[in-house]
Amino acid sequence: MGNYQSSLEAAFHALADPTRRAGISRLTKGPAPVRELAKPFAMGLPAFMKHLRVLEADGLISSQKVGRVRTCRVNMEKLAAAESWLCAQRAFWQAGADRLADYVETQMSGSIENDG
């Protein structure tokens, strides 16, 4: 699997869970310690840490421990790969919709000419 495909794999897998999405969403606003990240969630710290480990294994975040505090930060590269893939799909789809509109327009102006 190429680098781009494996980035997509990692990003979409990581983001398929609401806790992980919320964690990413918090971290795009700036780095945060694990305990602060965990606070909004109705789950124990060990359950939350599992989600962080998925995010870290998928390369969407990195973390560093200084003293007793582990601080997480987001890596934007894989999110960017996922966004650009989705943007490309929309462009393909839009190009098709434009071709269809052109076709309909050609057919309609053809009919009007034939009628005239």
For its own copies, the binding residue among 43, 69, 76, 108 (CB under 8 A) is 76
Q: Per CB under 8 A, which region of 2-10, 45-53, 64-72, 101-109 contacts its own copies?
A: 2-10
Which one, of 61, 65, 89, 57, lies nearest residue 75 by Cα?
A: 61
- What part of residues 42-71 is at the interface with its own copies (CB under 8 A)? none
The residues, any chain, with a CB within 8 Å of residue 12's CB and separated by 6 or more, are 82
Q: Cα–Cα distance between 57 and 70 in angstroms, integer?
A: 16
Q: Is 60 helix (H, G, I), strand (E, B) or coil?
A: coil
- Per CB under 8 A, residues contacting its own copies are 1, 5, 8-9, 12-13, 15-16, 18, 21, 24-25, 28-30, 74, 76, 79-80, 82-83, 85-87, 89-90, 92-93, 96
